Amino acid sequence: MTPAQTERRARREVLLPQIVAHRVARMPRPAWTGWVTTTDHKRIGVLYLVTAMSFMLLGGVEALLMRSQLAQADNTLLNPQVYNQIMTMHGTTMVFLVVMPLWAGFANYLVPLQVGARDMAFPRLNALSYWLFLAGGIVFYASVFFTPPEAGWTAYTPLSSGPFIPGNGTDAWIFLIHLTGISSILGSLNMTVTIANMRAPGMGWSRLPLFCWSLIAQAIMILLTLPVIAGAVTMLLTDRHFGTCFFDPSCGGSAMLWQHLFWFFGHPEVYIMILPAFGVISEVLPVFARKPIFGYKAIAASSIGIAFLSMLVWAHHMFATPLATAALVFFMLSSMLIAIPTGVKVLNWVATLFRGSIVLATPLYFAAGFLVLFTLGGITGVMLAIFPIDRQVTDTYFVVAHFHFVLVAGAVSGVMAAVYFWFPKITGRMLDERLGKVSFWLQFVGFLGTFLIQHSLGLSGMPRRIYTYGSDTGWEVSNLVSTVGAFILAAGVLVTVVNVARSLRRGITAGPDPWKGNTLEWFTTSPPPPHNFDVVPRVRSVEPMQKIREQIRESAGKGNGR
């Protein structure tokens, strides 16, 4: 081979892979591959939101099946085993596959926009977090085709141990906890680094949006508590399959140990789910009151205070267990103490609305509904923090009502406010205001109809987790009212689903700033471009968009003066 031939051959070997890669890159690809392979925080946020909403519909159907079973005395719609399975699926779905990933979706989409970043700090890690969450949901719901879990979403031992529930359903629940837990831990690390290191020029901690403050507090709790529940479910798995004896009292284990480990995660989990809703309310109220948030520093500090105090209250779920009196008093007082930073938020929110120029848009309806319903849930929470009262109503429908007043009225109302507030930014389309207000009133009335009367059921002695009751108990009318309320609540959610589907096709074009918002996501287009901002503005206040609009008006005035 001549030197010239050798040179041409070497050139071909170098250039051929580049030519092939170029031609492959130019080949048309199906649209869905962009979503599967994306590392764009906005697309990952949308994936979280769509997936979690799908699981929300599944969890809602499961709730309606339970309420249908309880609508009449001695009902046989569901047998005891199927009822327990549906109850377990519903509780687990709503906590691990709906509320937490919904907030992960909004956080992924909005945090880089609010802090003026181009993307999350670790885009590939961000994508991995979503796929781990999806894998956990698939593993969990695959158990429906084999042996669904039936030990409740708390999986109390020794009920959840192998001798009592030998199928694979509890194992699927354990794997769900592991997969979604890893997803949440990675997402929290990513969120914390993004907020700490990628803020826009001029955005110090004292100018950070309150939604971001709530996510910082949430991340702290996730990083401290999820490893504990991961260890607990691993111990349960080894008890079930490898002969260990952590939780079985018959061989020297302790069922109390499971409760301590689970609730050390479980009570902060309530605040993990509710703190982002606090952040949403803190963003929505000043926009539609047309005035600055009242007590910015107090609201931000109270989020961190809640994160700290939430680690000190777990045993108030265990007041019916043989704890020492000193422990009962400590956890009673700490449970009351956490009401203080929460009350600080509520008072500041009310002060924000006071004498404001109120704009009655749908996001404000859901935010105001949140204030009413969550406050009611907080009052019953203080009642349950008093251990003599708690012992009388523990494991009754009074606790079920309290729990749902906090989470459904709190987290879900916050989610709905976020959907109506940020849908124009995500899609570039406005949701229909008339349908939005119909959805609000159906959800508000349906929620009160479903859960307010359950306080009375609990006080009259109806235990939680029962699949039927006798006609001589006097509970039938109240349960029927609760079931009718549940279907009204479901109709309200369905109206929002229809509103979203309709607006995606023919909603009014939103523009970059339809609400006259306060934070940086309203500075860019709707929806934002792949790089988020053409120019990242300097932040000069807690409400940077107000300053930017003032500068635009001043520039326009000077131009007209010439």
> Which tokens go with 435?
């349908």
Neighbours of 20 (CB within 10 A): 10
Distance CA 51, CA 47 (A): 6
Are the beta carbons of 150 and 81 closer than 8 angstroms? Answer: yes
The DSSP call for residue 203 is: -
**Which residues touch 300 (CB under 8 Å, ≥6 apart)?**
208, 210, 213
Phi and psi torsions of 396, nearest 5°: -115, 175
Alpha-carbon 476 to chain mean position: 33
Establish whether the linkage from the previous residue to 322 is cis, with ω within 30° of 0. no
CA angle 111–113–116, rounded 5-degree value: 105
Q: CA quadruple 286, 289, 295, 298: dihedral positive or negative?
A: negative
Neighbours of 395 (CB within 10 A): 12
Start-to-end CA distance of the chain, whole Å, equals 78
**Which residues touch 417 (CB under 8 Å, ≥6 apart)?**
277, 280, 281, 284, 363, 366, 367, 370
Show the 3-state SS of 489-501.
HHHHHHHHHHHHH
Q: Which residues of 50-86 are buried (b: 16+ CB within 10 A; e: fewer)?
A: ebbbebbebbbebbbbbbebbbbbebeebeeeebbbb
Among candidate residues 424, 482, 478, the one with its CA nearest the CA of residue 451: 482
Are the beta carbons of 279 and 210 closer than 8 angstroms? Answer: yes
**Which residues touch 254 (CB under 8 Å, ≥6 apart)?**
246, 247
Q: What is the Cα Rg of the chain in Å?
A: 26
**Residue entry with tokens 């789910």:** 273
Distance CA 133, CA 130 (A): 5
> Which tokens go with 441?
């009133």
The DSSP call for residue 523 is: G
Residue 163: exposure state from Cβ atoms within 10 A (0-12, 13-18, ≥19): exposed
CA atoms within 13 Å, Cβ hemisphere of 28:
2
Residue numbers annotated as active site: 90, 119, 153, 183-184, 267, 269, 271, 282, 316-317, 342, 345, 464
The DSSP call for residue 527 is: S
Among candidate residues 102, 95, 115, 76, the one with its CA nearest the CA of residue 207: 115
**Which residues touch 406 (CB under 8 Å, ≥6 apart)?**
270, 274, 374, 377, 378, 381
